[in-house]
Amino acid sequence: MSLLKFSQALIFILASTLSLTSHAALDKNEREIEQAVNINSGSLDIDGVKKVGAIASEQLKAIGFKVEWLDGSAFNRAGHVLATHESKKPDAIKILMIGHLDTVFAKHDNFTTYKQIDEYTASGPGVADMKGGNTIIITALKSLQALNLLENVSIKVLLTGDEESSGRPLSLSKQVIVDGAIWADVALGFENGDNNIKTAMAARRGYTGWTLNVTANAAHSSQIFSESVGYGAIYEVSRILNDFREQLATQPNLTFNPGLIVGGTNADYDSANSSATAFGKSNVIAQTVHVAGDLRALSPKQVEGAKKVMQQIVAKSLNGSQAELIFEDGYPPMGLTEGNKKLLALYSQASQDLGYNKVVAANPRNAGAADISFAANHVDMALDGLGLMGSGAHTKNETADLTSLNKNTAKTALLIYRLGKM
């Protein structure tokens, strides 16, 4: 099929399901987004995640995919949807398409419904991150199926149920992504990236959580700085955090954020619920401090280098105090490989051939970690940020740019078609 014929057929099919001129009434795909958004599916809301998964499963079954629900009880989450289409061609390219079912919003949050703000904008929890992205995946595949072009490719669609709050251990919760990537040649992620339709994520920084625990001598505040008592836990943690900043903050693409700190005579940090309590008095030297933070870097080498420097800083304790720095398993970085650059170029060309803009690599600093990072090191090419654009993700002000819905659907379908011809 020539590009012209493909484009004409694709636009006709999209036009039958997408309103290209007016959003005064919801079109079919917007209604599907609305249906998913109106189901509260925070990562810890097991029933809600399963309900969103059931909707996506029915849509994928309708176009001939074999669909499985992978139970997540072993890692304390709902689970994942895995849908598979196997081409009969033995040399067909294998593509892993990644989305997620969950949001950051708690079960009883009052921000729970889809709302049409204006002709081109909608709001709702997870509308862009990433229920709109899931719709792009499924609609692009519907378009290819309608053109009898799915037989040129083998595809796995993986919609995880714990992207926003990963189940533990990661070796269990993310194993399905790794397995899918080992099977695949190409991985495509449909997060909204940096929410710029002119960019895509050819690289993503990894994420590692850390906890800093400091203990010190408790005494009357009049004895602080003395040889026998020392500096206290709060001064020690202040030294450590400031040294982190002074020694590491200038490294490109490296960030480390202390997101929670609690200290006093007694301090308790509940990592499972991201909450803390403390008791202390101004005339008593603080005995305990806990800090929880994250570390983000663009390569494994950069991660390990930062960890080493941080541990060296922690080891130089002030008098009367002791500190430990604990790193947890995290998301690996997705490096800017030659394969990723090639895939970005193919996606950009598809965009331009459809009459849209050129697409360039996004700055990795402009987006967080994502599930595709667990796939990227196992495939020849990976690209993320292909989903529904928007703003305000993870907040009550989250919105979706509906003008990007049909554009990114068409670009995805054309990219998959061309990958099938390689």
The string of pLDDT tens digits covering residues 26-48 is: 678 888 999 999 999 999 999 99
* Residue 356: C-alpha distances to residues 135, 370, 389 (Å): 20, 26, 15
Nearest CA to 335 out of 305, 295, 291, 379 is that of 379
The answer to whether 406 touches 14, Cβ cutoff 8 Å, is yes
Domain residue spans in the chain? 3-204+334-420, 207-327
Q: Average pLDDT of 397-409?
A: 96
Structure tokens at 45: 């809301």
For 180-197, write each residue's pLDDT tens digit. Answer: 999 999 999 999 999 999
Are residues 282 and 200 in contact, defined by beta-carbon separation less than 8 angstroms? no
- Point out which residues pair with 266 in neighbouring strands: 279
Cα distance between residue 353 and residue 10, in whole Å: 13
* pLDDT on residue 143: 93
- Residue 122: which H helix or E strand, with range? strand 121-123
pTM: 0.89
- Whether 9 has a pLDDT exceeding 70, the answer reads no
Please write the tens of the pLDDT for every residue from 314-373. Answer: 999 999 999 999 999 899 999 999 999 999 999 999 999 999 999 999 999 999 889 999
Domain 3-204+334-420 has CATH 3.90.1150.10: no
| Mean pLDDT value of segment 162-189 | 97
User: By the 8 A CB rule, do 132 and 33 touch?
Assistant: yes
The Cα 69–Cα 354 span in angstroms is: 35
**CATH architecture designation of domain 207-327:** 2-Layer Sandwich (3.30)
Task: Identify the bridge partners of residue 264 per DSSP, sorted by sequence position.
Answer: 288
Is the CB of residue 306 less than 8 Å from the CB of residue 295?
Answer: yes
Report the pLDDT value the prediction gives residue 272, as an integer from 0 to 100.
80
* Number of CB atoms found within 10 A of residue 323's CB: 22
Query: What are φ and ψ of residue 352, in 5° steps?
Result: -70, -35
How many other CB atoms are found less than 10 A from the CB of residue 335?
20
Chain mean pLDDT for the chain: 93
Residue 270 host element (H or E):
strand 266-270
Listed residue (44, 52, 56) closest to 82, CA to CA: 56
Is pLDDT of 15 > 80?
Answer: no
pLDDT band, residue 23 (cuts 50/70/90): very low
Range 130-135 average pLDDT = 97
Amino acid at 42: G
What is the distance between the alpha carbons of residues 378 and 98, in angstroms, rounded to a whole number? 14
Per residue in 47-64, is it b (16+ CB within 10 Å) or e — as a string? Answer: ebbbbbbebbbebbeebe
The pLDDT, as a whole number, for residue 28 is 81
Asked whether 265 and 233 are in contact (CB, 8 A), the reply is no
- CB-count exposure of residue 181 (10 Å: 0-12, 13-18, 19+): buried
- What is the three-state SS of 278-311? EECCCCECCCEEEEEEEEEECCHHHHHHHHHHHH
Question: CA distances (Å), 179 to each of 223, 246, 290, in order?
Answer: 58, 40, 37
